[in-house]
Structure 1
Amino acid sequence: MLRRAFEHESEMVRRWRNHPRVRGVSFTDHEIGEAEHRGWWSATVTDDTRRILIYEHDGVPSGVVNLFDHDVRARRAGWGFYLDVDGLGERGELLAAWMRIEGEAIAYAFAELEIGTLRGEVLVRNEAVRTLHRRHGFVEVGTYTRRVAGVEEPVVVMELVR
C-alpha cells in the first residue's frame, strides 16, 4: 500500500536513503545529513508538483516513492524509490517488496495523479532496477552522462506510457 508520508517519518526516510546499498546506486552517494534532509523534506512537502509516499509492505513502513516534476497539463511526472533494505532483508521480503512497490507506484501515478507518462532515470550499471522497470513495461528512451561521486556515469532514461 502507498500513502502520503507523515512529518514524523522524515528521519526514517533519511535512514533508508543513507543505507550504503541505496547510496551506491543513487545520483548522490554521500550520506545525507539532518540539515540537508530537513531542507529537502520541507521543500518537497510544500511543492504541489511533488509527492513523498510511504510504501507499506504487509502493514509495515518499508519504502518511499518520490514523485516529482508532476506536470498536470502535460500529464507526466518523474519518479524514484528506495526501500528499507535492512528491515525487509531481515524479514526475507526484499524481492517481493521490490516488485510490489513498483506496481503500486505505477498504479498511483496513473490512477490518482492521472499521469500519462511516468519517467525515471537509472544509472546504466544498475541492471537490477533497469530489469525491474522493463518487467513493468518501461522502455529505455535515451541516455546521458552525469557526474556521480566524481566520475562521469552513463544514465538511462526510462518511460512508461499509460
Structure 2
Amino acid sequence: MNDIVRNMREEDLARVLEWRNHPDVRKFMYTQHEITSLEHRSWFENSQRNPGRNLLIFESGSVPLGFININQTVPGHVADWGFYLDPVAPRGVGHRLGVTALAFAYTVLGLHKVCGQALAFNERSIRFHLRLGFKCEGELRDQHYDGESYHSVMHFGLLSSEWQPPL
C-alpha cells in the first residue's frame, strides 16, 4: 500500500469537519455536539500557531481516509494523539493509519512516547491501542461527564523502544 501522512491543509477543512461530525465518530469524542464551521476553522487556525501540534491527514493511494492529531506535551519527547477515520473507510484502514502515524511520530518527530486515551465504552479504540503495542497505563474512573452520565477514561502509552513497525 502507498500509505502516507501529510500535514492537514485548509482545503481539508470541510472533509475533516464532515468526518468529525458524523454520528459514528462524534459519539466517541469528549465534545459530542456538532462542530460548526466557525468553531472548526478557529480550531485549525489556533493549531497552526502551535509548533507542537501536528494535524495530519492519512492517505492511501492519494485518497484521504483519516485524520490524526499529534500534540506534543513535552516537545520532541512525549505527545498525546487522537484520530478518526472517514466513516466509510474500508475495513483495516484504521490499523494502517495507526502504523503510519506512529512511524511518523517516532521517525520524523523523534518522539520518545506517544500517549492515547479512550472512553472506557469505546472497545474498538481500546483494542486498537493494544494491537498497536500500547500498554494500558491506567483508568481514570468517572473522569468524563457527557452531560448525561459519567464515563471512565482509559490511558495508554507506547515508548519508542517498544514500537515494532511491521516488516
Structure-1-length-normalised TM-score = 0.91
What code does the residue aligned with 1:20 have? Answer: P
Q: CA deviation at 1:148?
A: 2.0
Q: CA deviation at 1:59?
A: 1.9
- Pairing partner for 1:38 from 36, 41, 55: 41
The Cα offsets for residues 102-146 of structure 1, whole Å up to 9 and x where unpaired, read as 001111100011101100110011111111110111011012111
Q: CA deviation at 1:70?
A: 4.1
- Structure 2 gaps of 5+ residues are 161-167
Q: CA deviation at 1:35?
A: 1.2
CA–CA separation in structure 1 for the residues paired with 2:41 and 2:29: 19
- Pairing partner for 2:94 from 84, 91, 98: 98
CA–CA separation in structure 2 for the residues paired with 1:61 and 1:127: 25
Aligned residues: 155
CA–CA separation in structure 2 for the residues paired with 1:140 and 1:148: 23
What code does the residue aligned with 1:26 have? Answer: M
**CA, structure 1 residues 55+116, in 2 after alignment: closer, same or farther (shift >3 Å)?**
same
More helix by share: 1
- Structure 1 gaps of 5+ residues are none
Structure-2-length-normalised TM-score = 0.89
- Pairing partner for 2:127 from 125, 131, 141: 131
Q: Name the Cα RMSD after superposition.
A: 1.2
- Pairing partner for 1:26 from 24, 29, 35: 29
The Cα offsets for residues 6-55 of structure 1, whole Å up to 9 and x where unpaired, read as 11111111111001000011111110001111111111122101011000
Identity of aligned residues (%): 32
CA–CA separation in structure 1 for the residues paired with 2:7 and 2:18: 18
